[in-house]
Amino acid sequence: QVQLVESGGGLVKPGGSLRLSCAASGFTFSDFYMSWIRQAPGKGLEWLSYISESGRTVSYTDSLKGRFTISRDNAKKSLYLQMSSLRAEDTAVYYCVTTVGSTFYWWGQGTLVTVSS
Amino acid sequence: DIQMTQSPSSLSASVGDRVTITCRASETITNYLNWYQQKPGKAPKLLIYAASNLQRGVPSRFSGSGSGTDFTLTIGGLQPEDFATYYCQQSYSTPLTFGGGTKVEIK
């Protein structure tokens, strides 16, 4: 069955960096766009970025202002999110999600990122 | 950016009730509208895509309708497992955006 397992979350100080990973299994990873979506504690869902099957096409929400970079390694069936200049408002659960036609089909369980001094 | 507005933000209902949640887009999105269900501590789950198509495995008591700017999610006969938060999402253009959510609680 489809599995998406995020890792790399944790506590980081403001201004710090973190790299999230997502390991995929149970489907042909290289056939799918992938997205990162986050959810701040007690808040709604926010789409951050997607990447095409090959990695050649990426898109970001404007509010990230270049601080985050999405990437993938199809040989390793893995998706990544490099996050830098982290702020308190980046505190959230980050989900890795398969994306078809900008619709979010399969979701990981999420990894919590806490930005605090 | 396309703004998605859901109403109500919360509602109380009883098992067996028919529940309707609405979602309005700030501009036309034709039928590029999806609905998700999220239970506490869990990841969201896709219920309906392209406004009215039921995702595989989702019970038929869930239905979606609408086009343009106005959309509706209906639960025909609320079950105990349906108490959750529901989100709409437009897949028409980036940035992809979600509604604020509707929490369905037990009356």
Residues of chain B contacting residue A59, judged by C-beta atoms under 8 Å apart: 94-95
Of the candidates A59, A104, A110, which has its C-beta nearest B94's C-beta? A59
Using the predicted structure, report yes or no on whether residue B86 has a pLDDT greater than 90. yes
Q: Report how far residue A92's alpha carbon sits from residue B104's, in angstroms, rounded to the nearest whole number.
A: 23
Residues of chain B contacting residue A103, judged by C-beta atoms under 8 Å apart: 34, 46, 49-50, 89, 91
Regions in chain A scoring below 50 on pLDDT: none
Judged by a CB distance cut-off of 8 A, whether residue A27 touches chain B is: no
Residue-level pLDDT at A88: 98
Of the candidates B95, B100, B101, which has its C-beta nearest A47's C-beta? B95
Of A16, A23, A111, which is closest to residue A72 (Cα–Cα)?
Answer: A23
- How distant is the Cα of B24 from the closest Cα of chain A, in angstroms? 16
Using the predicted structure, report yes or no on whether residue B18 has a pLDDT greater than 90. yes
Judged by a CB distance cut-off of 8 A, whether residue A95 touches chain B is: yes
Residues of chain A contacting residue B1, judged by C-beta atoms under 8 Å apart: 62
Q: How far is CA B63 from CA B31, B35, B82, in A?
A: 14, 10, 13
Residues of chain B contacting residue A47, judged by C-beta atoms under 8 Å apart: 89, 95-98
Q: What is the pLDDT of residues B19-72, one digit of tens each?
A: 999 999 999 999 999 999 999 999 999 999 999 999 999 999 999 999 999 999
Nearest chain B residue to A38 by CA distance is B43
Residue contact B43–A104, C-beta within 8 A: no
Q: How far is CA A71 from CA A36, A52, A59, B2, B93, in A?
A: 11, 9, 11, 26, 21
Residues of chain A contacting residue B4, judged by C-beta atoms under 8 Å apart: none
Tokens describing residue B37: 């269900």
Residue-level pLDDT at A65: 79
Residue contact A103–B87, C-beta within 8 A: no
CA atoms within 13 A on the CB side of A17: 7
Q: Report how far residue A9's alpha carbon sits from residue A18's, in angstroms, rounded to the nearest whole number.
A: 7
